[in-house]
Amino acid sequence: ALLDFTMIAMVFQVASRGTNRAATVIFSDTAVLQVSDGEVDFVFRVAEMAGRPLLQAVMQVYCVQHHEDSSRPGGFRVEVSALELQEPIADARNGVLFFGLPATVKHRVNQSSPLSPHHTADEESLRVKRNLEPEQIRKHLAKRPYLEVVVLVSGIEDSSASSVEARHSYTLDDMFWDRMFSPCVSVDDDGWTTVDCEAIHETVPSSWGEVSQADRRIGRGGPPTHE
């Protein structure tokens, strides 16, 4: 009985350590849709707060959205799609990521992106609508009945070899148009690399354009989009 109790306690301890370790992986409070040279990127940040980064870290990003469909119960069809990431670049040999410094995660919103208004179009429509303007993307997202980007980061905690999984999600109310993240990594006078943990969440306008500051929130929690 004592041996059984010891084994159960050890398993519980390892499981608890993995759960606590997941709390050291932090995500930026908001995501941004950054506009540059006519292209739109969906961007957020992930940072590892522990002294030793996770081993064999892998990131998966999915888009969950509702499409109006009168043939389905409730009038909506649920779609789950994986987002292709341009950054960070995984190790070409084994596909794992290095989280020694905060990572900027970037997904290009092009015609094949689940965030694009052309995502559900057929091939003929894509040929006709090959030029995707940033304003089209903004209006499309603002009209979505429901859209959420789910992020999963998994890896191995080195001291216990336990599996760790951290999760976060961004709804439309967490996404802001035409903004970019402030720098959070710098080198001090002594040559040491430093990370400003508070700046991980800070964003600034990437350009002012024709969108007012009040209209930058994509979700319906902000002012309505003007056609």
Amino acid in the structure at residue 42: F
Q: What is the pTM of this model?
A: 0.78
For residue 199, the number of C-alpha atoms closer than 13 Å in the C-beta half-sphere is: 14
Q: What is the mean pLDDT of the chain?
A: 80
Amino acid in the structure at residue 216: R
Report CA-CA distances (Å) from 34 to 176, 189, 225: 9, 31, 18
pLDDT at site 7: 53
pLDDT along the chain (227 residues), means of 10: 51 49 87 92 90 81 92 89 88 69 92 85 50 89 94 84 89 94 90 88 75 61 40
pLDDT at site 95: 64
pLDDT at site 42: 97
pLDDT at site 91: 63
